[in-house]
Structures are given as structure tokens and as C-alpha cells.
């Protein structure tokens, strides 16, 4: 009888570890899916913005004799931003930071374009320019919502994988910390425009 | 099993400060049983009632929920963020799957109006059309203080756009159920393996019970899982309260609570004219448009 106690205890402890490992693994998988899902929404919101830009540039070009440098800056920032693709399985903090930098470059040049456009009455009176502005505003709002949701999900994820005892299983199963978007000081201020 | 490490403490501090920070912002009213929430008193009682009836009937037929929310002041807030917070908290829309809700937010003092579309409403009410409804219907009427006319025509326009897009059935709920059932993959095999292991161990060692004392709570839970007492005990204990201390996290919990005419007093006690079936937990992706009059 006594001989049996040790193996029983060992097996019981092993079984408990196994079950809690399973539980942790499942929880990680689930929340990892949430992160990827939230990321895909962030990307599609940014994509939506990128898709609007050729239309915007063409409209501006067609309506007004617009200053060239602003337009080329937007186009360059767009191609820079769209070339930066982050795979959902590789959302580490550096990648997110680079992605954010590329996108905020586009935000700034777009903001500048819209500010300059206010000097052109014929643009302001143009119906399709107005509609593009509405769409652009809606897209910026969608980006904001998608980013906030992504950050929430990632916060939750990072908490789970860094807490004890989850952190042991997380390193065992290879779940790494995910990057988050940072609030941009520059994005909150209106872009500066020089008229000289 | 709590290990109060410095890191965890830090996380808790972050969590607590973020919660108190959120509460420091303007409080969002609890969801009501009404589709018309005229806190700024822009509508007369009769107008409020007419709009409520119209929108509730539409919600019953199509499951698309159009909510009007008016407020005296934004108190320094951005109308988009304010409308977003209200939308998120209330969960406007027939179901989460459909998310077919539209929120018309009005701030009286700032003279701002915002249409917020749920993810399922973006299809029939894209941003451009929301903008047109604001600029061509709401703004001109609001400028002349004709609030009812503006809201009535705007909602009619939205209703027309959304006609035929959705019908009121329970499909959304069924889909959710299927989704919940279809979980699994490799871990399921691990779990089955664990169960087999457990059964084998149990049949080999479990009959004589020295281990029953060793790790009592755990094994008792496992062994007597089939016992009906367990479920009953859990239900009676109210364990859910600890997990969801905030009522709005619970989804549709509040919606089944009161009937349509509970709060209003005697004059509309009869009938379900304002009943729209409760908010279904819809979400918004940030669509819509804004304007000012």
C-alpha cells in the first residue's frame, strides 16, 4: 500500500500540471486569434485609407492648380505606407512601431493636403472632393476604433502571457509579447502649414 | 495561487488607474428600454412617443435598431468619441453578428450631430449617405429649431435605405451558437488524452482512497463532477457576480429585465408599442458622419 503513495502523488501532480498546461494553451490560442483578428481589422482600415488616396489626388489635380510638392509628398508617403506589411504572426513591438511610423507619415502629409486645399474655393465647392473628405474622415475614425480595439486585445494578451504561472507555459509554447500602438503626440496636433 | 509580484502589482495599478480615469470622463447613461432618449428635451412628449413608436415598429420588423440620443452638452468631448462610447456600451443592433444599429447623437449646446453606424449598417448607410442626411435633412431643420421634423425625416430616410437589408429572425443567435460549438483542434486531442489518462489512473489507483485526502478539493471536483449538487451549488452561489461586477459586460442581461412601459407611469401602460426587443450587443467600426447646425 505504502509503495503506491509516491507514484500516485507524482502522477496526480503531473496530471494537474498537464491539465493546467492544456487550459493555458487553449486560453493563449484563443486570445492569439483575437489579436490576429483585431490586427486584420487595423490593416484593412489602413488599406481603406490607402485606397482612397489615388482618387483624392486625381480629384485635387483635376479641379485646382494645386501645388505639386504637397501631392507628391502624399503619393510618396502612401507608397511607403503600403509597402510596409506586417504579418499577423509577427506582431512584435518593433514591427508595430515601424508600421505606425510609416502610417503616421501618410497621416501627416494627408493632413497637410487637406489644410492646403482650404485655400482653393473651387475645391471646396466640388462635390466629389467633399465626398472624399467625408470618406477620409470616416476612414480615420475606423482606423482609430480598430487601433483602440487592437490595443485592448493585445493588452489582455500580454497580461495573460506575462502573469504567473501563465508566463511559464507561454515561453514553453512560444507565445511572445505583442506590440501596441502608441498615442502619437504629432497626430493630435494639427499639421503645420507654411504658406511662403 | 496568487503571487503578488511587482509586475502584477504594476498591472493592477495600471488597471485601477485606467478604470478611474474612464470614470472621470463624462458618465454614459445606462442603456434604456427606449429607442428615443431625449435627454436634452428637444422633443415634446407626443413627438417623442411618435418617434418611439415608429422606430420600435421598424426594429420589430427588420431587427435594425435606430437610436436617437440627445444631450444638453458634450462637456468638452469630441462628438465622435462620445457617440462611440454610447454605442459600445449600449450595444445597438439586433445581434452582435448583424450589428445593424444606427445611433443619431445630438449635443444641444455645441449644436453638433453625429450619425454612428454599426458594422452591419455600413452597407446600407455608408458615410457619404450619412453625411447627406445630416447636411440636407437634419441641419436645415435644426437651424430652424424644428428638431422633430429633422429627426423624423432623417430616420425615415435611414429606414428606407435599410429596408430589406435585414429581417427579424433568430438566425444571428443560431450562428453564434454554432460558432461556439465549433471550437477545437489539437488541444481537443490533448484533453481527450488527459481524460483517458485520468480514467486509466482512476481505475488502477483510485478505488482505495488515500489520495482523496491528499488533494481533496481538486479530486473531489473531478470525481463528483456528474453529481447534480455541483451545478446547483454553483448556481446558488452566484459565482457570476464576481466575474462580471459591471452590469454592461454581461451583454443582453438587462434587456430582458423590464417591459416596455414600466417606467413611464400610467399613460402608456398598455401595449408594447415602444418595445423593440432589447439591444442585441451590436458593435461599430466607427462608421458614420458628423455635422453641426
**Each residue of B209-225: b (16+ CB within 10 Å) or e?**
eebeeebeeebeeeeee
**Each residue of B240-251: b (16+ CB within 10 Å) or e?**
eeeeeeeeeeee
Confidence of residue B10 (pLDDT cuts 50, 70, 90): low
pLDDT digits (tens, 9 = 90+) for A16-36: 999 988 888 999 999 999 999
Q: Indicate yes or no: CB of B205 within 8 angstroms of CB of A164.
A: no
- Computed from CA positions of residues B28, B111, A186, A53, in that sequence, does the dihedral angle turn out positive or negative? positive
Looking at domain A2-80+91-175, its CATH superfamily turns out to be LemA-like domain (1.20.1440.20)
Residue in chain A closest to B5 (alpha carbons) equals A164
pLDDT higher than threshold 90 for residue A39? yes
pLDDT higher than threshold 90 for residue B45? yes
Between residues A135 and B257, the one the model is more confident about: A135
Of A43-57, A133-147, B180-194, B224-238, which gets the smallest average pLDDT? Answer: B224-238
pLDDT digits (tens, 9 = 90+) for A56-97: 999 998 887 888 888 999 999 999 998 888 888 888 899 999
Beta strands in A76-156 (DSSP E): none
φ, ψ at B52 (rounded to 5°): -60, -45
pTM, full prediction: 0.70
Q: Indicate yes or no: CB of A22 within 8 angstroms of CB of B201.
A: no
Q: Indicate yes or no: CB of A138 within 8 angstroms of CB of B289.
A: yes
Distance CA B59, CA B167 (A): 9
pLDDT number for residue A63: 83
Distance CA B250, CA A96 (A): 32
* Half-sphere exposure for B277 (CA within 13 Å, toward CB): 21
Q: A142 contacts in B (CB within 8 Å)?
A: 285-287
**Each residue of A10-45: b (16+ CB within 10 Å) or e?**
ebbeebeebbebbebbbbbbebbebbbebbebbbeb
Averaged over B60-77, what is the pLDDT? 92
* Half-sphere exposure for A63 (CA within 13 Å, toward CB): 20
pLDDT number for residue B252: 36
Confidence of residue B196 (pLDDT cuts 50, 70, 90): confident
pLDDT digits (tens, 9 = 90+) for A118-177: 889 988 889 899 999 999 999 999 999 999 999 999 999 999 888 888 888 888 888 888
pLDDT higher than threshold 60 for residue B98? yes
Between residues A161 and B218, the one the model is more confident about: A161
Of B19-23, B101-105, B219-223, B250-254, which gets the smallest average pLDDT? Answer: B250-254
**Which uninterrupted H or E stretch holds B103?**
strand B101-107
Of the candidates A18, A26, A142, the beta carbon closest to that of B286 is on: A142
This model of the complex carries an ipTM of 0.81
Dig out the grid coordinates for B140 from the structure. Answer: 436645415
Confidence of residue A38 (pLDDT cuts 50, 70, 90): very high
Coil, helix or strand at residue A89: coil
Q: A162 contacts in B (CB within 8 Å)?
A: 7
pLDDT number for residue B106: 96
| Binding-face residues of A in 118-137 toward B, CB within 8 A | 131, 134-135, 137
Mutation choice for A interface testing from B1, B6, B99, B127 by most A CBs within 10 A:
B127
pLDDT number for residue B240: 36
Mutation choice for B interface testing from A3, A8, A28 by most B CBs within 10 A:
A8
pLDDT number for residue B231: 41
Averaged over B198-214, what is the pLDDT? 61
| Residue B71 bridge partners (DSSP) | B107
**Which uninterrupted H or E stretch holds A48?**
helix A2-63
Mutation choice for A interface testing from B187, B188, B197, B287 by most A CBs within 10 A:
B187
Between residues B173 and B117, the one the model is more confident about: B117
Q: B214 contacts in A (CB within 8 Å)?
A: 8-9, 12
Amino acid at each position: 500500500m505504502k509503495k503506491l503513495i509516491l507514484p500516485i502523488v507524482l502522477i496526480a501532480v503531473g496530471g494537474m500540471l498537464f491539465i493546467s498546461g492544456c487550459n493555458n494553451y487553449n486560453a493563449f490560442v484563443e486570445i492569439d486569434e483575437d489579436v490576429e483578428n483585431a490586427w486584420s481589422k487595423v490593416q484593412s482600415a489602413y488599406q481603406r485609407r490607402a485606397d482612397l488616396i489615388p482618387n483624392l489626388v486625381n480629384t485635387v489635380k483635376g479641379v485646382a492648380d494645386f501645388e505639386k510638392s504637397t501631392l507628391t509628398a502624399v503619393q510618396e508617403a502612401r507608397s511607403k505606407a503600403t509597402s510596409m506589411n506586417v504579418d499577423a504572426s509577427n506582431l512584435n513591438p518593433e514591427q508595430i512601431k515601424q508600421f505606425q511610423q510609416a502610417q503616421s507619415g501618410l497621416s501627416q502629409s494627408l493632413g497637410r493636403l487637406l489644410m492646403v486645399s482650404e485655400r482653393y474655393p473651387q475645391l471646396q465647392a466640388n462635390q466629389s472632393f467633399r465626398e472624399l473628405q467625408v470618406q477620409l474622415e470616416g476612414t480615420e475614425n475606423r482606423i482609430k476604433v480598430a487601433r483602440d480595439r487592437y490595443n485592448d486585445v493585445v493588452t489582455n494578451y500580454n497580461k495573460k502571457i506575462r502573469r504567473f504561472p501563465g508566463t511559464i507555459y507561454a515561453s514553453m509554447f512560444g507565445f511572445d509579447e505583442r506590440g501596441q500602438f502608441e498615442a502619437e503626440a504629432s497626430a493630435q496636433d494639427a499639421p503645420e502649414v507654411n504658406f511662403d | 495561487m496568487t503571487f503578488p509580484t511587482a509586475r502584477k502589482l504594476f498591472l493592477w495599478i495600471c488597471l485601477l488607474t485606467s478604470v478611474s480615469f474612464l470614470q472621470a470622463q463624462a458618465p454614459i447613461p445606462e442603456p434604456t428600454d427606449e429607442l428615443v432618449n431625449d435627454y436634452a428635451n428637444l422633443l415634446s412628449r407626443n413627438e417623442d412617443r411618435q418617434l418611439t413608436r415608429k422606430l420600435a415598429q421598424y426594429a420589430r420588423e427588420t431587427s435594425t435598431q435606430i437610436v436617437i440620443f440627445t444631450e444638453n452638452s458634450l462637456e468638452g468631448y469630441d462628438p465622435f468619441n462620445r457617440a462611440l462610447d454610447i454605442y459600445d456600451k449600449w450595444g445597438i443592433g439586433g445581434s452582435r453578428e448583424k450589428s445593424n444599429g444606427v445611433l443619431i447623437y445630438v449635443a444641444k449646446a455645441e449644436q453638433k450631430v453625429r450619425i454612428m453606424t454599426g458594422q452591419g449598417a455600413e452597407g446600407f448607410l455608408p458615410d457619404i449617405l450619412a453625411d447627406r442626411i445630416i447636411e440636407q435633412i437634419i441641419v436645415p431643420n435644426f437651424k430652424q429649431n424644428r428638431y422633430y421634423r429633422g429627426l423624423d425625416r432623417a430616420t425615415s430616410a435611414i429606414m428606407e435605405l435599410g429596408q430589406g437589408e435585414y429581417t427579424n429572425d433568430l438566425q444571428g443567435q443560431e450562428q453564434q451558437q454554432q460558432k461556439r460549438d465549433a471550437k477545437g483542434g489539437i488541444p481537443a486531442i490533448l484533453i481527450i488524452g488527459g481524460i483517458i489518462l485520468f480514467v486509466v489512473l482512476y481505475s488502477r489507483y483510485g478505488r482505495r482512497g488515500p489520495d482523496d485526502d491528499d488533494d481533496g478539493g481538486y479530486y473531489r471536483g473531478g470525481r463528483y463532477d456528474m453529481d447534480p449538487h455541483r451545478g446547483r451549488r454553483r448556481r446558488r452561489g452566484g459565482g457570476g457576480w464576481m466575474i462580471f461586477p459591471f452590469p454592461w459586460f454581461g451583454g443582453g442581461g438587462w434587456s430582458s429585465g423590464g417591459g416596455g412601459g414600466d417606467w413611464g407611469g400610467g399613460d402608456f401602460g398598455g401595449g408594447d408599442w415602444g418595445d423593440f426587443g432589447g439591444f442585441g450587443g451590436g458593435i461599430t467600426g466607427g462608421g458614420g458622419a458628423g455635422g453641426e447646425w
